Structure 1
Amino acid sequence: MQMDVNGIKQHVLPHYLTAAELDHVSLTVAPLGNGHINSTWLVSSNQRRFVLQQLNTQVFTAPWSVVENAMVIANFLQQQTDNYALLLTYPVLTLTGQLAVDDRQHGFWRAISFVENSHSIEKMHTTAQAQQTAYAFGSFAAALGQLDATLLQQTITDFRHLAARMTRLQQLAAEDPLQRRQHCQPWLDFAVSQRALLDDVAQMEAQLPLRICHNDTKINNLLFDDDNQPMAVVDLDTCMPGYLMYDFGDMVRSCCASVAEDATQLADIDVLPEYFAAISQGWLQALAPVMTPLERESLWLGVKVVTLMLAIRFLTDYLDGDRYFRIHHAGHNLERAINQFTLYQRFVEHEAQLKPLLQSQ
């Protein structure tokens, strides 16, 4: 359930604030960010500020894994100050020392430290930002390179599992619960036509080391200072064991497209090679000492897989009644799916131009 400000003050904040803070005239609760999944608020009292978030438990069906992973990461990175220059966000405990508030009636809530004097950027505007973004996320992955990936829990099952995503899409298409298949049959056919990629993924993953990955490496999951320099990596909800090629692929997918991921003019969708070069440079600068040669080789596969996988996820959600991604109008997820399928096609078309850049840096 979506709770309003009064409900938050009445049912959630008493777990985090003293009676004096709750009654103080300075207390404010304001929406923060524009994420697709969770509801996020900035809480300001007379003594402190913190981020309050209601986790979407339809997406994060084991929400304790999210907050427990965040604590493992924060505890580890606090010991890595010589290897990690960015600021940390860390769980804010309840008054009784708990990582979250798990209320069957009012939802699952957790609090996170607020990074003062910071701001987020929704859209990348320069290749310098692309390089900085890649270097920041690469530094995050490199700093976590010494942490046993198996210490983290899976917060979303099969999140980066292309075969499972493909199977789920085909199941929903066969069931067609909302009679939407007729509107997207050509794109269903295209998705199925790419099944050969599954063998490439299976062969590559079998040879790669398991790493801790962020799994949502978009520029709006960084905080920047007043000089627009990266300050902190945020939104750790999908931090899980995985493979570096997917974090790189998600950055490229989200940063190198010429238009937004829900743009509907397909002729306008293209790849920006200068941004790809900048991202490759920043990523490899941060991770070259850590990555194996095969991990470096896997990066281009990650670009293709992540882009195709997101297209499949959007299309699956469209067939399923738009239950995962927040939409703004009817058919929004279908538009997103078509956009990402087209972007995937553009990456394939530009492979001969872009892939060599990963070896030249």
Structure 2
Amino acid sequence: MRVNNQIWKIAQKFQTAEIIDIQTYGNGNINQTFLVTLSSTESFILQRINQQVFSQPKSVIDNMCRVVEHIQAKVTHNLLKRNWQIPNVLLTLEGENHVIDQDNSIWRGISFINDCQCFDTVQNPQHAQEIGYALGLFHTLISDLNIDQLTDTLPGFHITPQYLQHYYQVLAKTQVKSCPEVKYCQDFINQRATQIDILEKAKARRELPLRPIHGDPKVNNIMINCQSGEAIAMIDLDTVKPGLIHYDIGDCLRSLANPLGEETQAWQEVEFNLSLAKAMLAGYLDVARNFLTEYDYFYLYDCIRLIAFELGLRFLSDYLAGNIYFKTNYPEHNLQRALVQFQLAASIEAQATPIRQIIAQLK
């Protein structure tokens, strides 16, 4: 896709080298992303931050800078089993970490990681284990970063009781369409409404501490080395913030252990894949075991169950509200997505015993 001169001018603020090409890059739904190729054969990522999602774009960049600086210091002083890469925030020629364009949009430059790829779905159990290893290493490297240094750029994110309250508010002012699928979703929520505050109560009791988290540890945010097949980086650090590591673990397993994916039409066939989940947890605990507490292990099953339910709740609320948050391709798209997540949550609940056994075995 051809880009306009304005984007070329913004890219030039980050580089003295000649720019020879700029192309749209990736399939992300939030930020506008471009790959900038230089005459030196090097490349970098140029992004416009979506201020409708991130109301504090400068804080998003500052969070990323703090995390990158912290990880770089840890990698420099610790011998890791592999060459872990960090996407660096580039400075402009004037020494700033962002550019403000004529429309007051915020742009940033990020270093490009070569010789690796990411996948939208898990390829096999070994890939699942690498994803777990990447998340575990990321959590380990930032586990001693003071959360007071991070801004909460997404207040309320993964606070399930708040999503339930929003659902009730939508119900109160919406004429709900009567159909079997909507009724199934509503019944599913009602049957579990008293069980959704378990992580927040554990946080209030200080059983689970706030730690730095990634915030969006889906499969395609882990970079895999093209030669070795090893995970070598976690990207998309926009959502780094204080939170529970259980949010990350549950969200990662939600996306990883559903081979049919969240966009499948065959929602009744959705199953939580135990072998993929076990591989991911094995990879995670291989590197993160040392900083986990007994309470962390105790609540692992609950986060796996809860995050799938939470996303289903968010999809249904958006469907009932008129599809105003999530991008959709057809009117019932968010309803279909909700059905998929609720079916995944049901599959997790049906396999509670073997999931708990896997956690105990790997502990």
- Per the TM superposition, whether the score is higher than 0.5 is yes
Q: How far apart are 1:180 and its partner, in Å?
A: 5.8
For residues 95 and 260 of structure 1, do their structure 2 counterparts lie closer, same or farther at Cα, with a shift above 3 Å needed? same
Which range moves more in the overlay, 339-348 or 4-13? Answer: 4-13
Equivalence for 1:302: 303
Helix, strand or coil: the match of 2:299? helix
Residues 1:241 and 1:17: Cα distance change in structure 2 (over 3 Å): same
Q: Residue 248 of structure 2 aligns to which amino acid in structure 1?
A: D
2:145 corresponding residue in structure 1: 147
Whether 2:198 is the aligned partner of 1:200: answer yes
Q: How far apart are 1:318 and its partner, in Å?
A: 2.3
Corresponding letter in the other structure for 2:27: N
Residue-by-residue CA offset, 1:303-328 (whole Å, 9 max, x unaligned):
11111111112222223333332333
The answer to whether the 8 Å contact 2:140/2:291 transfers is: yes
Give the alignment partner of residue 99 of structure 2, picking from 94, 98, 101.
Answer: 101
> What one-letter code is carried by the residue in structure 1 that aligns with 2:356?
K
Q: 4, 18, 22: which is aligned to 1:21?
A: 18
For 1:59 and 1:173, locate their aligned partners in 2 and report how far apart those are by CA, in whole Å.
24
| Structure 2 unpaired stretches of 5+ | none
1:50-96 C-alpha deviation (Å, 9 max, x unpaired): 11112221111111121000000111111112165411111112222
Please give the residue correspondences for 1:338-353 in structure 2 after superposition, counting only pairs within 5 Å.
338-353=339-354
Counterpart Cα distance in 2 of 1:326 and 1:104: 27
Q: What one-letter code is carried by the residue in structure 2 that aligns with 1:316?
A: S
**Inter-partner Cα distance in structure 2 for 1:226 and 1:14:** 30
Q: Note if contact 1:11-1:106 (Cα within 8 Å) is conserved in structure 2.
A: no
> What corresponds to 2:30 in structure 1?
37
Tell me, in whole angstroms, the C-alpha distance in 2 between the residues paired with 1:39 and 1:209: 34
Q: Is the 8 A contact 2:91 2:98 kept in 1?
A: yes
SS at match of 2:114: coil
Residue among 155, 158, 178 paired with 1:157: 155
Residues 1:164 and 1:7: Cα distance change in structure 2 (over 3 Å): farther
Indicate if the aligned counterparts of 1:83 and 1:143 stay in contact, CA closer than 8 A.
Answer: no
- Following superposition, the deviation at residue 104 of structure 1 comes to 6.1
Corresponding residue for 2:253? 252
Residues 268 and 340, structure 2, Cα contact 8 Å, conserved in 1: no
Superposition deviation, residue 293 in structure 1:
0.8
Superposed displacement of residue 252, structure 1:
1.1
User: 1 CA distance for matches of 2:67 and 2:224?
Assistant: 20
Contact 1:162 1:309 in 2 (8 A): yes
How far does the alpha carbon of each residue in 1:309-361 deviate from its partner, in whole angstroms, 9 at most, with x for none?
11112222223333332333332222111110111111111111211110111
Aligned alpha-carbon RMSD (Å): 2.0
1:36 Cα offset (Å): 2.4
Separation in 2, partners of 1:38, 1:182 = 36
Q: What does residue 5 of structure 1 align with?
A: 3
**Aligned-partner SS, 1:264:** coil
Give, in whole Å, the separation in 1 of the partners of 2:320 and 2:22.
36
Structure 2 Cα separation of the partners of residues 234 and 334 of structure 1: 29
Extract unaligned runs of 5+ from structure 1. Answer: none
The 5 Å alignment of 1:1-361 reads 5-10=3-8, 12-18=10-16, 21=18, 27-47=20-40, 48-81=42-75, 82=78, 85=82, 86-103=84-101, 105=103, 107-176=105-174, 181-182=177-178, 184-206=182-204, 207-227=207-227, 228-361=229-362
Letter in 1 for 2:159: H
Give TM-score scaled by structure 1 length. 0.91
Contact 2:139 2:213 in 1 (8 A): yes
Q: How many Å separate the matches in 1 of 2:6 and 2:165?
A: 39
Change (3 A) 1:360 1:199: same
Q: Is the 8 A contact 1:246 1:299 kept in 2?
A: no
Matches of 2:128 and 2:295, distance apart in 1? 24
What SS class does the counterpart of residue 109 from structure 2 fall into?
strand
Give me the whole-angstrom Cα distance separating, in 2, the residues matched to 1:4 and 1:326. Answer: 24
CA deviations 1:82-141 (Å, max 9, x no partner) are: 165411111112222222223361622211110011211111121111111101110110
Q: Flag the 1:288–1:197 CA change in 2: closer, same or farther, 3 A.
A: same
Could you tell me the percent identity over the aligned residues? 28
Aligned residue pairs total: 352
Distance in 1 (CA, whole Å) between partners of 2:307 and 2:79 is: 28
How has the CA–CA distance of structure 1 residues 314 and 8 changed in structure 2, closer, same or farther, with 3 Å as cutoff?
Answer: farther
Give the aligned residue type for 1:102: I
Find the aligned partners of 1:4 and 1:249 in 2 and give their Cα distance. Answer: 39
Q: What does the per-residue CA deviation read over 1:153-186, in whole Å, with 9 as the maximum and x for residues that have no partner?
A: 112111110011111122122222xx56445344
Change (3 A) 1:316 1:223: same
Displacement of 1:11 in angstroms is: 5.2
User: Quick one: distance in 2 between partners of 1:248 and 1:187?
Assistant: 24
SS in 2 for 1:112: strand
Please tell me whether the aligned partners of residues 36 and 325 of structure 1 are also in contact (alpha carbons under 8 angstroms).
Answer: no
Q: Tell me, in whole angstroms, the C-alpha distance in 2 between the residues paired with 1:101 and 1:193.
A: 49
TM-score, length-scaled by structure 2 = 0.91
Q: Which moved more, 1:103-112 or 1:91-100?
A: 103-112
